[in-house]
Amino acid sequence: MRAVVTGAAGFIGSHLCAHLLAAGDSVLGIDSLTDYYDRALKERNLRELTPHPSFAFHRVDLLETPLEALIDGADVVYHLAGQPGVRSSWGEDFELYARRNVLASQRLLEAVRDRPLRKFIYASSSSVYGDAPVFPTGESVCPRPLTPYGVTKLAAEHLCEIYRIAFSLPAVSLRLFSVYGPRQRPDMALARLIGAALTGEPFPLYGNGEQTRDFTYVHDVVTAMRDAAGSSFTGVANLGGDAPVSMKHIIAAVERLVGPVNLDPRPSGRGEARHTGADIALAARAFGYRPRTELDDGLAAMADQTVIDLAHLPEARIAGPRAPADSTGTPTHAEEG
pLDDT score at 246? 97
For the chain, where do the domains classified as CATH 3.40.50.720 start and end? 2-178+217-239
Give the Cα separation of 287 and 4 in Å (integer): 20
Q: CA angle 43-181-302, nearest 5°?
A: 90
Please give the backbone phi and psi of residue 245, each rounded to the nearest 5 degrees, phi first: -135, 160
Amino acid 313: pLDDT: 79
Chain centroid, CA 115 distance in Å: 26
pLDDT at 37: 87
Choose, from 37, 122, 149, 180, the residue flagged as catalytic: 149
pLDDT at 274: 87
Which pLDDT score, from 0 to 100, does residue 319 have?
39
CATH 3.90.25.10-classified regions of the chain:
181-213+243-276+292-316
Tell me, rounded to whole angstroms, the distance of Cα 134 from its chain centroid. 23
Contact of 156 with 124, CB cutoff 8 Å: yes
* CATH tag for 181-213+243-276+292-316 (out of 3.40.50.2020, 1.10.260.40, 3.90.25.10, 3.20.20.70): 3.90.25.10
| Per-residue model confidence as pLDDT tens digits over 266-290 | 988 777 788 999 999 999 999 999 9
Amino acid at 24: G
Query: What's the whole-model pTM score?
Result: 0.93
112: enclosing H helix or E strand: helix 104-112
Q: In CATH terms, is domain 2-178+217-239 a member of 1.10.20.10?
A: no
Q: For this structure, is 149 an active site residue?
A: yes
**What does each of the 337 residues of the chain score in pLDDT, given as a tens digit?**
999 999 999 999 999 999 999 999 999 999 999 989 889 999 999 999 999 999 999 999 999 999 999 999 999 999 999 999 888 999 999 999 999 999 999 999 999 999 999 999 999 999 999 999 999 999 999 999 999 999 999 999 999 999 999 999 999 999 999 999 999 999 999 999 999 999 999 999 988 999 999 999 999 999 999 999 999 999 999 999 999 999 999 999 999 999 999 999 998 877 778 899 999 999 999 999 999 999 999 999 999 999 998 888 766 554 344 444 443 333 333 333 3
Residue 315, pLDDT score: 62
* Rounded distance between C-alpha atoms, residue 199 and residue 197, angstroms: 6
Name which of 59, 37, 167, 38 is nearest 114 in CA terms.
167
* Three-state DSSP state, 113: coil
What is the distance between the alpha carbons of residues 24 and 150, in angstroms, rounded to a whole number? 34
Angle CA 45–295–299, to nearest 5 = 45
CA angle 80, 71, 226 (to 5 degrees): 45
Ordered DSSP codes for 2-17 = EEEEETTTSHHHHHHH
Instruction: Give CA–CA dist 41/337, Å, rounded.
Output: 8
Report the C-alpha gap between 84 and 9 in whole angstroms.
13
In the prediction, which pLDDT does 239 show?
98
What is the reported pLDDT for 332? 32
The pLDDT of residue 316 is 57
**pLDDT tens-digit map of 10-23:** 999 999 999 999 99
